[in-house]
A and B are shown apart, each in its own frame.
Chain A
Amino acid sequence: DTGVSQDPRHKITKRGQNVTFRCDPISEHNRLYWYRQTLGQGPEFLTYFQNEAQLEKSRLLSDRFSAERPKGSFSTLEIQRTEQGDSAMYLCASSLVLALDEQFFGPGTRLTVL
């Protein structure tokens, strides 16, 4: 399967702990996006990268959140000092510059903060 993959698929943590999620985009895609989706809502944009450069961050991305894409391939999203309000599905997507604006989404990481 050469689609977008995310790891882990599920994460349960206690409030105050740090968590890190990984996203592997489709190999030739140079744009990578992170979204967050809560129950009954559509995905909300968090941040995106073009190659290794983080070009935009949403105001939803508080200082407890950090994302990296060190070599322009996979990306990590870290949440420090998790809060119960961080419980959500974290979705990663990738797309190709100069292609249509279709984004390809991974299956998501479901985070539950107890």
Chain B
Amino acid sequence: SQQGEEDPQALSIQEGENATMNCSYKTSINNLQWYRQNSGRGLVHLILIRSNEREKHSGRLRVTLDTSKKSSSLLITASRAADTASYFCATDRSNSGYALNFGKGTSLLVTP
């Protein structure tokens, strides 16, 4: 079963704008990760945030985590056409700790 739910399902913005995607999950976690999937390519890990962290940055990416609300957000600043992809949040499966539960993803389109 899929633990995470991303919101919105689809997002269309212009280059230079910021894109924000949200993820909600159901059960307690050790960490939450965000992955990107381009058309025809595999999943690429973007960033991991642990349950005791509230915010993390990596380049143009900013991730927040609110464990009390069981939610996370991914902000991509100054978006580029190359950011066009599907973005998934993934939580660890606390009963096993290793395999990931993915949401359905947010499809981001960045137009020039």
A: residues with CB less than 8 A from B are 4, 31, 33, 35, 40-45, 48, 50, 55-56, 91, 93, 95, 100-108
Contact = CB atoms under 8 A, between A and B. Distances in A.
A102 B99 contact: no
B54 interface: no
A101 B92 CA distance: 9
A104 B45 contact: yes
A107 B42 contact: yes
Nearest to A46: B99
Interface residues of B, number: 25
Residue in B43, B44, B99, B104 with the greatest tally of chain A CB atoms within 10 Å: B99
17 contacts: A33-B99, A33-B100, A40-B104, A41-B104, A42-B90, A44-B102, A45-B100, A48-B96, A48-B98, A50-B98, A56-B99, A93-B43, A100-B48, A101-B33, A102-B45, A105-B43, A107-B41
B93 interface: yes
A43 B102 contact: yes
Given A42-B2, A91-B42, A48 B31 contact: no
B104 A31 contact: no
A107 B38 CA distance: 10
Given A42-B2, A42-B4, A42-B88, A103 B100 contact: yes
A23 to B, nearest CB: 12
Nearest to A102: B45
A112 B88 CA distance: 24
Interface string B10-36: 000000000000000000001101010
Contact of B99 (A4, A45, A106): A45
A105 B4 contact: no
B101 interface: yes
